[in-house]
Homo-oligomer: A and B are copies of this chain.
Amino acid sequence: MISKKMEGLVKGSSVIRAMFEDGKLLAQKYGAENVFDFSLGNPNVPAPKEVNDAIIDVVSNTDSVKLHGYMSNAGHDEVRDIIAQSLNGKYGTAYDRSNIVMTVGAAGGMNVALKSIINPGDEVIVFAPYFGEYDNYVANYDGKVVAITPDIDTFQPNLSEFEDKITNKTACVIINSPNNPTGVIYSEETLKGLSAALEKKQRELGRTIYLISDEPYRELVYDGAYVPWVPDYYRNTIVGYSYSKSLSLPGERIGYLVIPSDADDHEDLASAASVATRILGFVNAPSVMQLVVGKCIDASTDISYYERNRNTLYEGLTKLGFECRKPEGAFYLFMKTPIEDDNEFAGMARKHNILLVPGSAFMCRGFVRIAYCVSYETVKGSLPKFQELAAALGLRGVS
């Protein structure tokens, strides 16, 4: 007697649960240290010390009703001020608290944004490969996902196909850079092209098309890479952010939306976001964590940890003859599968105790995602196993 919408999702979820159970069984059978689980985006780096210090500080020094009570659905005013000012310092913007809505992580923010925008039957354009959960978020509001086929050479959005797919039903477009699962950062050129296409189509169709920029990996970049600030390129942008990765706080569910003042219907949109936060049952982002991120605005996780994993993995895999782009950000490496069927390849890897997510889960066959937000020991220990896998496939590595 569960709802029809949920029936299929529960079945799908059972498959994922089966995968988890499978991983646990492998760990029991072979020992956890002999299982190389790259399947989950759960940061293995501790939160920076500032976070726990800030928790103890706010808990010890804040009046209980202020600390744990309701505030405006959009969040604590002073925290939104701090975030606005921090963004202004980084990007030369002029935001204030009215541009910021605190959310229950990026997933909460995405749902709030989509609920605020989508009418049933509206189309939402995404670029493959993309985080499969977007399908569920869009379906929550009876929207329809329109996926653009991947450019597997660059993993930048395919802009010509994009322009063709924009219709008078297109309510919004979702991008995610640095990208899950590819680790690619969308370039300035990409954003200019994306913006030009959107501006042109907005004029032609006489409607607003919002761009939702999902940016939980914004601070996770390597080699000094630059992540352009998307609203600089396209006015009707809504930015979704989360502290899940940048402060290693995924379980705490804390993030925010930026709704710039020059976006169409900015005030209604900000009001809708506040109301959506309330009626979807979030009510507000968790209070203590709001105050904590306000105090940790300049803190960051230890990126060198992920960078070492990235370098070791990238060098190790390419030496073995595997093909992949070196990730520029996030903590994912998207590797071409030496055989066509990525599900079959993931199955083969599993026989060597390596757990990977097939690219099909991101609407991009022929690849696997390797989440390297794991211990360095796991990365190092996996390479001999990848070597066995390469040998089984007859790959000819460099050495």
Contacts and interface: CB of A to CB of B under 8 A. Distances in A.
A133 interface: yes
Interface stretch (A28-36, A41-49, A176-184, A383-391): A41-49
A67 B67 CA distance: 20
A317 interface: no
Contacts of A275: 6, 9-10, 13
Contact of A281 (B42, B110, B117, B268): B110
Interface in A89-131: 104-105, 107-112, 115-119
A343 B274 CA distance: 26
A392 interface: no
A210 B1 contact: yes
A398 interface: no
Contact of A3 (B14, B46, B118, B248): B118
Interface in A34-70: 40, 42-44, 46-47, 51-52, 55-56, 59-60, 63-65, 67-70
Interface string A5-32: 1110110011000000000000000000
Interface residues of A, number: 79
Contacts of A104: 104, 253, 281-283
A284 interface: yes
A201 to B, nearest CB: 14
Interface centre among A42, A65, A71 (most CB of B within 10 A): A65
Label chain A's interface by main secondary structure. Answer: helix
A137 interface: yes
Nearest to A44: B65
A354 interface: no
A11 B1 CA distance: 35
Contacts of A107: 278, 281-283
Interface string A299-338: 0000000000000000000000000000000000000000
Interface string A183-217: 00000000000000000000000011010000000
A249 interface: yes
Given A59-B52, A68-B250, A249-B68, A286 B283 contact: no
A69 B2 contact: no
Contact of A288 (B1, B55, B208, B278): B55
